[in-house]
Structure 1
Amino acid sequence: MTIALERPVGTTDPITLVDPEVTDRLARRITADHPEITEATARRIVGQAAAFIAASGYLPGQSLAPSKLVDIGWHTFILHTVDYARFCEQVVGRFVHHIPTDENDEMPGGVQATRERTLAAIAAAGYAVDEELWPDMADCNQCHAGCHDSPKSG
């Protein structure tokens, strides 16, 4: 007998981290701002953004970075500051800052290593990774196009 699992044992669907009303609000904003993104995909983006934020908060300073699609979700979440701050406090225990990299900053090990490190961190934190939303990495040198985990020591 063969048993098929929708996701590996021991992982959590990260959309469950986000209040359903907040998920609805964020998905609506994503589809309004990006008409090419369907509602179903917007919901998946919200889930992966939640997983990225949680993993970044658990492992600060690890040079994690979102994909282009997940970055849309993170930026959308940040714009809803009350919801974002509440999420960070409830899930991570502290605020997870958004800190764009400088133009001359490079991802340690390059783009592919950053992608692998980020997906490994999400999986290690116990969250399912939606591989289809991670084909690339965000351009991390412009706030409107990309960013990385925080906090940076300063």
Structure 2
Amino acid sequence: MTALATELVHGRTLVDPDLFDRLTDFCAEEYGLERCVAERVMDQGLAFLDVMGRTGEGLSPSQKVDPAWHTFMLHSAEYTTWCQERYGRYIHHAPGSRYRDKATMVDVVSKLRVAGYMVDEGLWGTKADCSEPTCCGDGPCC
């Protein structure tokens, strides 16, 4: 019997490529990130928002992923339309509503995985510790 391979989904597919690029550029500039890091942040942020939107659960993003939510919300027309069209409601941001400890992030990561999303462990604080600046040899853009 052959198992079927399931391809993981990327958060970036939830918005038009042009919007993803604009959000990524803004995130990079606003938060002083390399563009490749901002792409990772936006990808994970969109996946995170989709899980919250679909489940209705109040979840916390990691500190590294939170800029994606702020970036999208600052593009208020696009964010409002996206929320309304996908979930029939606006997904509000309630700062400090949950803690960002490792256990909370592991819970969020598991929900992303259950939803079929690719998870970038380095942005959630769930990756094994390693020494900077090599970051276990994979660098900031891997």
Partner of 2:36: 40
Q: Would the aligned equivalents of 1:123 and 1:129 in 2 still touch at CA under 8 Å?
A: yes
Alpha-carbon RMSD across the aligned residues, in angstroms, is 2.1
Partner of 2:48: 52
What amino acid sits opposite 1:133 in the alignment?
A: L
Gap regions ≥5 residues in structure 1: 1-7, 137-154
Residue 70 to residue 17, structure 1, CA distance change in 2 (3 Å): same
Q: Distance in 1 between matches of 2:117 and 2:83?
A: 16
Task: Compute the displacement of 1:10 (Å).
Answer: 4.1
Partner of 2:61: 66
Partner of 1:31: 28
Q: Helix, strand or coil for the counterpart of 2:64?
A: helix
Partner of 1:124: 114
Q: Distance in 1 between matches of 2:108 and 2:115?
A: 11
Q: Distance in 2 between matches of 1:135 and 1:101?
A: 18
Taking only the aligned residue pairs, the percentage that are identical comes to 34
What's the TM-score once normalised by structure 2's chain length? 0.75
For CA contacts below 8 A with separation 6 or more, give which structure has more relative contact order. 1
Deviations 1:99-140 (A, max 9, x none): 1236xxx53xx722211111111111221111121127xxxx
Q: Helix, strand or coil for the counterpart of 1:69?
A: coil
Q: Would the aligned equivalents of 1:18 and 1:47 in 2 still touch at CA under 8 Å?
A: no
Gap regions ≥5 residues in structure 2: 127-142
Partner of 1:79: 74
Residue 90 to residue 126, structure 1, CA distance change in 2 (3 Å): farther
What amino acid sits opposite 2:51 in the alignment?
A: A
Partner of 1:113: 103
What's the TM-score once normalised by structure 1's chain length? 0.70
Q: Would the aligned equivalents of 1:15 and 1:44 in 2 still touch at CA under 8 Å?
A: no
Aligned length in residues: 122
Partner of 1:91: 86
Q: Distance in 1 between matches of 2:36 and 2:121?
A: 15
Residue 43 to residue 90, structure 1, CA distance change in 2 (3 Å): farther
Q: Distance in 1 between matches of 2:114 and 2:24?
A: 26
